[in-house]
Amino acid sequence: MKPVIGICANETTIIDSDSHWVSYTPKNFVSGCQQAGGLPLLLPISKPADCQQYVQQIDKLLLTGGQDVDPRFYGELPHQTLGGTQPERDRFELALIKEARAQGKPILGICRGMQLLNVALGGSLYQDLSLRPNPSLKHVQVPTPFRLPSHPVEIEKDSLLAQILPTNQPYQVNSFHHQTIHEVAPAFTVAATAPDGVIEALENKQERILAIQWHPELTFDNIKEEQGIFDYFVNQL
């Protein structure tokens, strides 16, 4: 049987109205899991009390991108650079993470997903890259298309990522985020960094958790190693 991949869904309105909301995820998350042999199942934003039953229905959990993580969840007040937040989504996905760990289900976090995992396990975020003590690279690569990489990352040689991506030279990734990791959660080790020191991947081998800052769902069509991330998650993690 195919492994069931629970993909956390976001919400938006399809017209300028409060009565036409949809639950969704970008299709490429679905496609990446399908191409890897997984059976994607969208998990709509729900009550945290429902997480135990949701997680029982899946084999692995995929946390996707989206809004900024509400800083209240790592003990900070909102800075003026903070973008839009959705606390209900944060609460639900934090509960999903807790339940997936309790049930021993592997987790992959992408972009916001990595940031939320770090918060869930006791770390914190810079609410904006401008708040870092040192200058940053351009991490929002607009107008460069996201299917193209825009900066290198250094992969740690003993990491889970090193089983998927090359480590003999800097690996090129795309980039679309304005928040980043500040304090790394104690349960995580850093698996990749950008030349400016921005953390690009975290992992916990024992709990089978992998988190990356870039967007392989936007590059796997033309970079085979990026599809390899989905392949590894679905079939090996």
Enzyme catalytic residues: 111, 215, 217
Three-state secondary-structure class, residue 200: strand
29 Cα distance to chain centroid = 11
CA gap 209, 107 in Å, rounded: 5
For 115, left (φ over 0), alpha (ψ -120 to 50), or beta? alpha
Short-list 78, 93, 98, 126, CA closest to 9? 93
Cβ–Cβ < 8 Å for 20, 14: yes
Distance from C-alpha of 111 to C-alpha of 214, rounded to nearest angstrom: 6
Burial class of 157 by CB neighbour count within 10 A (0 to 12, 13 to 18, 19+): exposed
Query: For 159, what's the count of Cα atoms within 13 Å in the CB-facing half-sphere?
Result: 25
Look at the block and give the residue holding tokens 């509400």: 70
Cα dihedral 197, 95, 98, 54, rounded to 10, equals -120
| Tokens encoding 205 | 């081998």
